[in-house]
Amino acid sequence: MRKIRTRFAPSPSGYLHVGGARTALFNWLYAQHTQGSFILRIEDTDQARSTDESVRAIFEGLEWLGIQWDEGPFYQSQRSEIYAEHIDKLISTGNAYYCTCTPDEIEAMREKARAKGEKPRYDGTCRNKELGPQTGAVVRFKAPQSANTILDDVVKGSIVFANNELDDFVIRRSDGMPTYNLAVVVDDVTMNINTVLRGDDHVMNTPKQILIYQALGHELPVFAHVPMVLGDDRTRLSKRHGATSVTAYRDMGLLPDAFVNYLARLGWSYGDQEFFTRQELIEKFTLERIGKSAGIFDPVKMQALNADHIQAAAPEVIAPHVKPFLQESGYNTDDETYLKALIPTLQPRSKTLREMAEQAHFYYRPELEYDEKAVKKFLKPAIVEPLKALKENLSSLTSFDEKKLETVFVNLMEKFEIKLGKIAQPVRVALTGTSVSPGIFEIIAVLGKKKVLQRLEKAIELIQAR
């Protein structure tokens, strides 16, 4: 059985967007599933639109998603000799020819066809002239004028294209640059790509590419054209739907595994299962499970899935991804043990990593910022003595495990004849500055003795100074 070789071939004219990221993901998952190879190719022949910044953005997006390529990146701009070699082969075998028709002459041909009610096209003026290379000439593919070209697509089934609907399309421009259809086939042929998985906006290019494969005497790859990703109004996904670069979702606070999970479910399914680990996606991904309907991008559903992944992830998985958000606020996150200890206390109430970082402020602030309403409601003179007693009892503990903390609070409640809520909320405000936070015992255990005692003392002083 041949080894599967897939590829992702973005044009570096912008950031890696949702549709492109999904294409990359599907190719990577299929290569992983089959123990094949995933190749990265940068289609940068359009020098006017291609930028180094876009190339870096593509790499950054793929790296954040955890999509690693096995070979590449290869750049089309560095492969001109390879394209020239294959174009020469097509000319020498009679499958391509030089054309010297001017743009004005070609437009006149198209107008003439329109006037007759025919499809506007090049009329083949130079088809049989056997012209040689010359300045300003293009090279055209000599397309068959009868029969059909058939695309057997894993997703869309069999699609038949009448060859008489195709004109002799250009494969090399007058400036010497190959066109997309020529370059992509030569790349796939020379890189031994045998599975072409891409968006269905490429379907109409495929008959031309099939003809080039056949003219080069090369076996066709498996084609799988995936329906587009649409917004909730069923139009092509754009910024007005909230769609931005992949790294923007990183900056919103999504876990890469959650975003990968969500992308995979945009056009692929495995029964009713919604939540997938990365390994589960690799194990279960097949081309046959790609749907025929467009994937609908739903930011609310994406965020809910992200919350599920945050809750399911181990602290050591979350830590490197939440760090940048904490560092944005100027916090020192060098203490990995401290960071991994506080994460479980925030996971149940965090939909995004940004939310988690915002809720973690009290763990890092050297000086607490008190919520005035919480202070007025809970830090009253009557609670000073219980807080002093708590401070004294905690200072004598050698460790802050839950059982010992529970004993301290039970004894406190008995001594002052108060219920847990009457002491827990004031302590919460004293330790966090607010009345809403993770569990008291969790907070005390994470903050540690030094910080807890300092914050209790400050709360006592605050009450006494009012």
Please confirm, yes or no, whether 239 is among the known catalytic residues: yes
268 beta partners: 290
Instruction: Tell me the pLDDT tens digit for each residue of 413-430.
Output: 999 999 988 999 999 999
Identify whether residues 41 and 118 lie together within a single domain: no
**66 and 120 inside one domain:** no
b (16+ CB within 10 A) / e for 353-372: bbbbbebbbbbbeeebebbe
pLDDT tens per residue across span 36-47: 999 999 999 877
Judge if 108 and 209 occupy the same domain: yes
Which of 176, 196, 226 is the last residue in one of the domains?
A: 226
The pLDDT value given to residue 241: 65
| 272 and 343 fall within a common domain | no
* Structural domain that includes position 354: 313-361
Last residue of a domain, one of 182, 198, 226: 226
Number of structural domains in the chain: 4
Residues 63 and 111 in one domain: no
377 and 354, same structural domain?
Answer: no
**290 and 380 together in one domain:** no
pLDDT at 242 (0 to 100): 65
Taking the model in full, what pTM does it have?
0.92
Segment 439-447 long-range contacts (CB within 8 Å, at least 24 positions apart): 439/345, 440/405, 440/409, 441/402, 441/405, 441/406, 442/344, 442/345, 443/345, 444/394, 444/400, 444/405, 445/341, 445/400, 445/401, 445/402, 445/405, 446/338, 446/341, 446/342, 446/345, 446/363, 447/363
Shared-domain flag, residues 155 and 24 = no
Report the CATH number that the domain containing residue 235 is assigned in CATH: 3.40.50.620
Residues 219 and 264 in one domain: no
Q: Given the DSSP bridges, would you call strands 170-172 and 138-141 parallel, antiparallel or unpaired?
A: antiparallel
Contact assessment for residue 195 and residue 30, using Cβ atoms and an 8 Å cutoff: yes
90 and 48 part of one domain = no
Note whether 65 and 88 are same-domain residues. Answer: no
Same domain (yes/no): 271, 289:
yes
Residue 47: its pLDDT value, please? Answer: 75
* CATH number assigned to the domain comprising residue 330: 1.10.8.70
pLDDT tens for the chain, residues 1 to 466? 789 999 999 999 888 999 999 999 999 999 999 999 999 999 998 777 888 999 999 999 999 999 999 999 999 999 999 999 999 999 999 999 999 999 999 999 999 989 988 889 899 999 999 999 999 999 999 999 999 999 999 999 999 999 988 999 999 999 999 999 999 999 999 999 999 999 999 999 999 999 999 999 999 999 999 999 988 878 777 766 666 789 999 999 999 999 999 999 999 999 999 999 999 999 999 999 999 999 899 999 999 999 999 999 999 999 999 999 999 999 999 999 999 999 999 999 999 999 999 999 999 999 999 999 999 999 999 999 999 999 999 999 988 988 899 999 999 999 999 998 899 999 999 999 999 999 999 999 999 999 999 999 999 999 998 7
Q: Choose the catalytic residue: 119, 129, 239, 380.
A: 239
